[in-house]
Amino acid sequence: MLTTLRGTDEYSRRLGEPSQAGRQGTTILEVLFATVIAVGGLLGVASLLLMGGRYASQANESTEAQGFSHQWYNVFQAREFNNPSRWSWFNDQTKTFGPYNASAMVSPAGSTTTATSSAFRHAICIDPSFYSDPLTLGEFTTSTFDSSQAYRPGLFPYYHDNYNPLSNPYSPATLPAPTSPGIVNQPRMLRMHLADPTTGSVLPRSLVEQIFMSVDDVATMLPEDMTPPQDKALPAQRLFEASGARRTSSGEYSWLATLCPRENNTLGPLTASERFYTLSIVVMHRRERGWFAATDSEPDSMPQGERLLAVTPQSGNFSGGFAGRVAVSSSTGVDSTIRSGDWMMFARTLAGDAVNHSNVFRWYRVVGVDADPVVDDVTGVWTQNVVLEGPDWTFAGPAYSTQATLLTNVVSVYERVISVP
């Protein structure tokens, strides 16, 4: 009788092949490969969840900010904040508030020298929240402001007119006088408080918070045990202030307004008042509004809520409503963090003479940023390329250079053209 060995262990052993019965499980190498694949998949899912959460948070902020911007625009119009009689300017040299008087604002309101700010065409930043912070007011009373310092809180942004943004704010350098006749200082807005139209006194802090901070995001107290009761779900306990029955809100959103007069490239109209202004309602989420005097040359010791940047065009003038690509630069003493979704305000001088000049200010949204800034260790300056979205802009020569103000945590800018009586 013939015995068939094909397919048996004996047959395999005779041919020198490994026995099928000897391989009962997986090898360590296979387990490692499977583990790496599983861990990689879990990490990918986790990264997608984090990215999705960040995008959802940004979308929520944008939606809420759009609603607040429309609401606060109506508040601005209803309370007649466009009336110059409501504006009260803080003279940081005398540390006093005074009524805004266009004919008396030639000097020293927007200037560290004489006769370089227009008497009738000031751009205005209405920002009572900045002045209502008690810590900021304390810095006003203990500091002196002169041309040797980088800061001047009576202006927006809070830097001296002739401050060089490429120098460290702790040891500031001034810009050289441009060759254009009469133009000495850089464009700045006058930072205004609001006054009671009947008494002339500035608005109290409590009223400023009600008007310029969100009151719809109601604060709630959640119990430690989040298990819903068996009978029915009860609402979380709402918080109320001790005085009155006003609900306490988290106040995460706040706003300021900028008013820029209509552009004029000719010198003649500069001596006449302007009726039409571009109003920008700037909405911020968790604004860093406090100002404090710098203590040393490190970024952490200096206010970073308003960063002044030098602007160099990379794609020519902006036209067509998309804006373009620019390089922004500043000192290494200034934080270089710029993210997509941030907002910055461009500023430059249009025309002027030894008595009057006109400035233009426009807001732009950052839609693209290079991975990392380029740092020049010799000059102590960092440069970052960004892509912007916004209105048309014309870049001029060194005499009318463009500067940018990067305001921290801006989530929305709502613009309309309004009349100023």
Nearest CA-CA partner of 370 in 382, 345, 387: 387
d(CA 195, CA 200): 5
Report yes or no on whether pTM surpasses 0.75.
yes
Phi, psi of 317 (to 5 degrees): -65, 155
- Splitting the chain (421 residues) into consecutive groups of 10 residues, what average pLDDT does each group show? 51 52 68 85 78 66 77 93 89 76 51 49 89 76 65 86 84 67 69 87 89 71 53 48 54 90 63 82 86 74 88 87 88 91 91 68 93 89 94 82 92 92 82
pLDDT at 259: 94
Cβ neighbours of residue 362 under 8 Å, at least 6 residues apart? 260, 345, 346, 390, 391, 393
d(CA 402, CA 317): 12
The encoded tokens of residue 229 equal 């009761």
Burial 360-379 (b: 16+ CB within 10 A, else e): bbbbbbbeebeeebeeeeee
d(CA 124, CA 369): 29
d(CA 400, CA 180): 8
- Amino acid at residue number 239: L
d(CA 392, CA 319): 5
Nearest CA-CA partner of 314 in 377, 371, 375, 368: 368
The encoded tokens of residue 82 equal 């466009």
pLDDT at 275: 83
pLDDT at 10: 55
d(CA 204, CA 283): 21
3-state secondary structure 335-351: CCCCCCCCEEEEEEEEE
- Chain-centre distance for alpha carbon 322: 20
Contact yes or no for 390/363 (Cβ under 8 A): yes
Collapsed DSSP state (helix, strand, coil) of residue 309 = strand
pLDDT at 110: 46
pLDDT at 24: 62
Phi, psi of 363 (to 5 degrees): -100, 140
pLDDT at 112: 47
Phi, psi of 240 (to 5 degrees): -130, 150
pLDDT at 241: 52
Collapsed DSSP state (helix, strand, coil) of residue 98 = strand
Phi, psi of 275 (to 5 degrees): -90, -35
What are the residue ranges of helices labelled H in 182-322?
Answer: 205-212
Beta bridge partners of 89: 98, 192
pLDDT at 329: 95
**Where on the phi/psi map is residue 323: left (φ > 0), alpha (ψ -120 to 50), or beta?**
left
